[in-house]
Amino acid sequence: MPRPSTTQQAQTPAQESQLIDLYEHPGHLLRRAQQISVSIFLDELGGDITPVQYAILRTLSNHPGIDQVTLAGLVGIDTSTGATVCVRLEEKGLLVRKVIPHNRRQRALNITPTGEQMLSDLIPAAQRLRKRLLSPLEADEQEQFMHLLDKLVRGNNTESRAPLASIKPVVSDNE
């Protein structure tokens, strides 16, 4: 099936599209790109872990001991989804959740050695996923695409129901 053309020249307000063609809608193209990404994710990484579970484990690997609320903010998911996914990952033996003594309502999270091993084992598959997803683009286009996609996400972060957060520096008790 031929792919609809998405090349449009910049238009002045007087020439602005009526958006009759579905493939002129950025949201539709982003949704399709997400569908394609998930499909390739499942092809390459298998069905043992979901993209959100992978994101949580990858984030925990880089930020051990963070709480569930901070984790949800770093991954860009709502806190209730984050908590549910963490319970599933704990049941799989991939992370541990411990109540934070000074705030009993929060849980500190750490990836287990099994979780770290899984992430390590998945690196080649994640690299293949990235290559496959970006393969329609030339090398310079891939770099530009990733830059522009990051700019789009960061520029619209406040529009999200689950905005990305940045990690806050840890302040020691001595300061």
| Average pLDDT of span 114-125 | 97
Model confidence at 172, pLDDT cuts 50, 70, 90, reads very low
| Pairing status of strand 103-111 against strand 95-100 | antiparallel
21-58 pLDDT tens trace: 888 889 999 999 999 999 999 999 999 999 999 999 99
Does 132 map to a domain?
yes
Per-residue pLDDT for 160 more than 90?
Answer: no
- Interior/surface letters 63-86, b for 16+ CB within 10 angstroms, e for the rest: eeebbbebbbbbbbbeeeebbebb
Model pTM above 0.85: no
> What pLDDT was estimated at residue 169?
39
> What pLDDT was estimated at residue 3?
53
Does 40 map to a domain?
no
Window from 127-136, 152-161, 163-172 with minimum mean pLDDT: 163-172
Give the total number of structural domains in the chain.
Answer: 1
d(CA 117, CA 94): 9
> What pLDDT was estimated at residue 15?
63
Do you know the residue count of the chain? 175
Query: What CATH number corresponds to the domain at position 62?
Result: 1.10.10.10
> What pLDDT was estimated at residue 60?
96
Does 117 map to a domain?
yes
> What pLDDT was estimated at residue 104?
74
| Three state DSSP letters for 59-118 | HHHHCCCCEHHHHHHHHCCCHHHHHHHHHHHHHCCCEEEEEECCEEEEEEEEECHHHHHH
User: Which domain covers residue 63, as residue numbers?
Assistant: 49-155
Per-residue pLDDT for 171 more than 80?
Answer: no
Does 72 map to a domain?
yes
Does 29 map to a domain?
no
66-116 pLDDT tens trace: 999 999 999 999 999 999 999 999 999 999 999 888 877 788 999 999 999
Considering only residues 37 and 14, tell me which one the structure prediction assigns the higher pLDDT. Answer: 37
